[in-house]
Structure 1
Amino acid sequence: MKTMHMLMMPMVLTGGLSTAALADDGSLSPGKLESLLNDADAYGFTHYDDVAIDDGNRLEVEGWRDDGWQLDIDMLIEDGSLVHEKRHKGTIPDWSLTSDELHQALTNAQNAGMKRFSELDVDERGHVDIEGYDAQNSEIDIRLERNDLTVTGVEHD
């Protein structure tokens, strides 16, 4: 029994390490990000201004509900469960992205070469900045124009 237990231990550790390594690079695959954003939509988000990986195992989402409540939540990347929430009454700014616009911005970033996501930020000047990694695992920064979500710049680090 001891031998079997010891043989299983490396498999458990290897699985844990590979999962940790994926989370430690501070990025998400498009499919995993899509799933987490669907959870955020179900939670009530209708407008977004910031989405980012936090501490390698959480997705921080900031935005608004249709009723004007501003939300700031952290979700576990592993399963989308809510681990932190702050909210206060506010007004939805016209520069924030709707859920459909957010998904379109991310699709446009993927078409510009982003393979894994790290962060998205929308500002009141009309810029959408998306950071992530390209196919060579190099950092990539993509800027989009807020009005039509066209890519206006791509920078490889």
Structure 2
Amino acid sequence: MKTMHMLMMPMVLSGGLSTAVMADDGSLSPGELESLLATAGEHGVTHYDDIAIDDGNRLEVEGWRDDGWQLDLDMLIRDGSLVHEKRRQDTTPDWSLNGEELRQALDNARDAGMQRFAELDVDEQGHVDIEGYDAQNEEIDIRLERNGLTVTGVEHD
């Protein structure tokens, strides 16, 4: 399982997730993802390491709280309800993304052509990999450098 650092994202939910419709490809629109990340923030996630859709109906978020506790959350995509939470005492690594950095990475991925989100992974070597779908509903993989969050590669599958 990939490690994920999560940061609290200060967002206001506008309406419930129950009306959100996930695409058949197991991806999320930017608004759906933002709502689910806001819910993760309500559970204390402040630094992110890994975000992925699991079994097509759950979002798994791995990261840390401000006090260093590592969190692994599984939430239902349809309404954001918590299905599973795992915690362990740890130290938040420097390479994790805080909420502002996460938003910037996702914005940069959208600017590079990603329309729908599928997965994000941050690694200790300073890379951020984001997978999703472009406007033609084709898979797109975007790599960013951790420092500056600049796009260093775009691959269409």
Whole-angstrom distance in 2 between the partners of 1:22 and 1:65? 28
Please say if 1:91 is aligned against 2:91. Answer: yes
Matched residue SS, 1:103: helix
1:110 equivalent in structure 2: 110
Contact 1:119–1:130 (CA under 8 A) maintained in structure 2: yes
1:5 equivalent in structure 2: none
1:80 equivalent in structure 2: 80
Q: Which runs of 4+ in 1 moved over 6 A?
A: none
Contact 2:22–2:29 (CA under 8 A) maintained in structure 1: no
- 1:22 Cα deviation from its structure 2 partner: 3.6
Residue 108 of structure 1 aligns with an amino acid whose one-letter code is: N
Which structure 1 segments of 5+ residues have no match? 1-18
Where in structure 2 are the equivalents of 1:1-157 lying within 5 Å?
Answer: 22-157=22-157
1:10-44 deviations in Å (ceiling 9; x for gaps): xxxxxxxxx9x945411000010011111111111
Residue 98 of structure 1 aligns with an amino acid whose one-letter code is: N
Q: Which has the larger radius of gyration?
A: 1
Query: Aligned Cα RMSD in Å?
Result: 1.3
Whole-angstrom distance in 1 between the partners of 2:35 and 2:24? 19
Whole-angstrom distance in 1 between the partners of 2:73 and 2:111? 28
Residue 148 of structure 1 aligns with an amino acid whose one-letter code is: G
1:71-96 deviations in Å (ceiling 9; x for gaps): 00100000111000111000000000
Residue 33 of structure 1 aligns with an amino acid whose one-letter code is: L
Q: How high is the TM-score relative to the length of structure 1?
A: 0.85
Whole-angstrom distance in 2 between the partners of 1:23 and 1:110? 17
Matched residue SS, 1:101: helix
1:4 equivalent in structure 2: none
Whole-angstrom distance in 1 between the partners of 2:60 and 2:45? 13
Contact 1:23–1:56 (CA under 8 A) maintained in structure 2: no
Matched residue SS, 2:38: helix
Q: How high is the TM-score relative to the length of structure 2?
A: 0.85
Q: Which has the higher contact order (CA 8 A, sep 6+)?
A: 2
Residue 121 of structure 1 aligns with an amino acid whose one-letter code is: D
1:51-110 deviations in Å (ceiling 9; x for gaps): 000000000000000011000010000011100011100000000000111111001100
Whole-angstrom distance in 2 between the partners of 1:138 and 1:23? 13
Residue 111 of structure 2 aligns with an amino acid whose one-letter code is: N
Contact 2:26–2:56 (CA under 8 A) maintained in structure 1: yes
Whole-angstrom distance in 2 between the partners of 1:24 and 1:127? 28
The structure carrying a bigger helix percent of its residues is 1
Which structure 2 segments of 5+ residues have no match? 1-18
